[in-house]
Structure 1
């Protein structure tokens, strides 16, 4: 980073700027604010420490109201009685300079981890109850949160984690960031990361050009549409590949392994790369 980049990143203080929006089945459309160290606000909210908690982290130039959240919040609440917390780190995500956004991704991830640690202490919940989901730059941030939380997050999902600035970055999504980690690649080499990043990596339609899409932005967004459908209806059976090269070349007919993409429950113990095909419009799953 240049001096100017560092100065720009220093202006973002995630502890003060990040906003945490709680959604539950009691308040599915209007969020309740959660503020670190504010126990009274937490007590007055619908957060329940005995539920699973979903943490959603948006990507570059996005916010709490972006499609990523408007698609996934209702999907999770329809599928299960959970706490859904939308992290709005738009104060750090809306920088035009990608080096600044990367620095902000790291500092925001550390701040979100501290927020989760406080939440667990105040509400009596544990990291085992958490599923962290991030898109784009938020995909890498999901991993950063997982490795900074006190304890092991059970389930971390990266939805087309970003490519630019992350190829040689040691802070990128890592297979060991949670007890089970999974990545869905839908626009590799452009908006999304090319190689495998998690314990299990899925490459729908080869990972770059999605049926029914006519832009890279559409391809990039398909990751969270596919994931939302996997939560509510299941489906999306992947065929095991030798490696990610085989997946992007659509050459995955030799190995017998099959695995469901996404879903509510972590597939702890599973590893590998998987290929699957989708329909061009909902329902996207072909089974």
Structure 2
């Protein structure tokens, strides 16, 4: 039995986690997706995980609050990445037993879910010599926070970092104001790419990665604010619009990398005044190899494909 004590500024709690195979089976489920296989995706038995080659990229997809392993963005992300490299192996994470609860309960379980994912990653390394540099985590909202905790735990267990985390508008409520070590932060992987689309509302407002990309300033997205002005009662729908735009933009950027070039700049205001006031460095929104650091900005359109 491992006892985790954590005191956050927002929510003090004591979290007890039984880190064994039955806990992982109970709380987190994993589906493996390999291209050109019958059934596309099959559930993994964590007690005896299937063989995974040690020379292909393995991507963990981690959903957010109220969602589960059938999240729509899972399949769109898989299809987009397979267009770039059909050797990708995907692991769909389902932690819906905790994510489909009230928000305060779900957010208090992100470290528990992350620890279970980390133990599975380490098991793959120990069993099949899957190198940590082949591991990529892509998480949306609370799932991005889960990804951060998984990265922390891998380091704790092995003193090594996974290769990359892509955090799609990481959850902000009850995370804003926390110490960096108690949330997603730049040290959770060799590269932590954060795409902000609803900062200050459903998303985290400040820097959280080695590189932070702010489409349209990172707070509200084109087309979403107009919907709010038409009907103030649709506030939650409007926030969801900007929040979910993170994974929609990411998928389009994977498919059309030349259309989503972000520019390094001091802030959004300077970028709006003139891009000439910004630095010369650019990065593609969906670049999964970049080692660039700092803040990057770009403009997008209000409807798919957003360019």
Unaligned regions of 5+ residues in structure 2, if any?
1-6, 228-237
Q: 1:32 to 1:77 in 2, by over 3 A?
A: same
Q: 1:97 to 1:272 in 2, by over 3 A?
A: closer
| Cα separation, partners in 2 of 1:274 and 1:95, compared to 1, 3 Å | same
Aligned mates of 1:159, 1:72 — CA distance in 2 = 12
Measure how far apart 1:28 and its partner are: 8.2
The corresponding residue for 1:91 is: 97
Distance in 1 (CA, whole Å) between partners of 2:289 and 2:47 is 30
Deviation at 1:9, TM superposition (A): 8.2
- Report the 3-state secondary structure (helix = DSSP H, G, I; strand = E; otherwise coil) of the residue aligned with 2:305: coil
| Counterpart in the other structure of 1:278 | 300
TM-score between both structures, scaled by the size of structure 2: 0.81
For residues 162 and 251 of structure 1, do their structure 2 counterparts lie closer, same or farther at Cα, with a shift above 3 Å needed? farther
Q: 1:191 to 1:29 in 2, by over 3 A?
A: farther
User: If the length of structure 1 is used for normalisation, what is the TM-score?
Assistant: 0.87
**Aligned mates of 1:191, 1:66 — CA distance in 2:** 18
Describe the SS at the equivalent of 2:108. Answer: helix
Aligned length: 275
Q: 2:285 aligns with which of 247, 250, 262?
A: 262
CA 1:25–1:117 in 2, change beyond 3 Å: closer, same or farther? same
The Cα of 1:89 is off from its aligned counterpart by: 0.5
SS at match of 1:27: coil
Pick from 24, 38, 50 the counterpart of residue 34 of structure 2.
24
Instruction: Report deviation, 1:246.
Output: 4.1
Cα drift, residue 262 of structure 1: 3.4
Report what 2:45 is aligned to. 35
Q: State which of 193, 211, 215 in structure 2 corresponds to 1:200.
A: 211
8 Å contact 1:71–1:224 — kept in the other structure?
A: no
2:73 is aligned, of 68, 82, 89, to 68
Aligned with residue 135 of structure 2, among 120, 124, 130: 130
Contact 1:238 1:276 (C-alpha < 8 Å) held by counterparts: yes
Which residue does the alignment assign to 1:240?
Answer: 264
What residue in structure 2 maps to residue 116 of structure 1? 121
Q: Please give the root-mean-square deviation of Cα atoms over the aligned residues, in Å.
A: 2.6
Question: Is the CA contact (8 Å cut-off) linking 1:159 and 1:184 kept in structure 2?
Answer: yes
Relative to structure 1, the CA distance from residue 204 to residue 104 in structure 2 (aligned partners, 3 Å threshold; closer, same or farther) is same
Q: Is 1:178 paired with 2:178?
A: no
Q: Give the 3 Å change call, closer, same or farther, for CA 262–37 of structure 1 in structure 2.
A: farther
Q: Secondary structure at the match of 1:131?
A: strand
**TM-aligned CA distance change 1:252 to 1:192, over 3 Å:** farther
Query: In structure 2, what is the Cα distance between the partners aligned to 1:27 and 1:250?
Result: 47
SS of equivalent to 1:108: helix
1:107 maps to 2:112: yes
SS in 1 for 2:109: helix
Offset, 1:167:
1.2
Deviation for aligned residue 1:273: 0.7
SS in 2 for 1:141: helix
Contact 1:136–1:192 (8 Å) recurs in 2: yes
How far does residue 112 in structure 1 lie from its aligned partner after superposition?
0.2
Q: Which runs of 5+ in 1 are unaligned?
A: none
| CA distance in 1: counterparts of 2:107 and 2:253, whole angstroms | 29
Runs of 4+ in 1 over 6 A off after TM superposition: 7-12
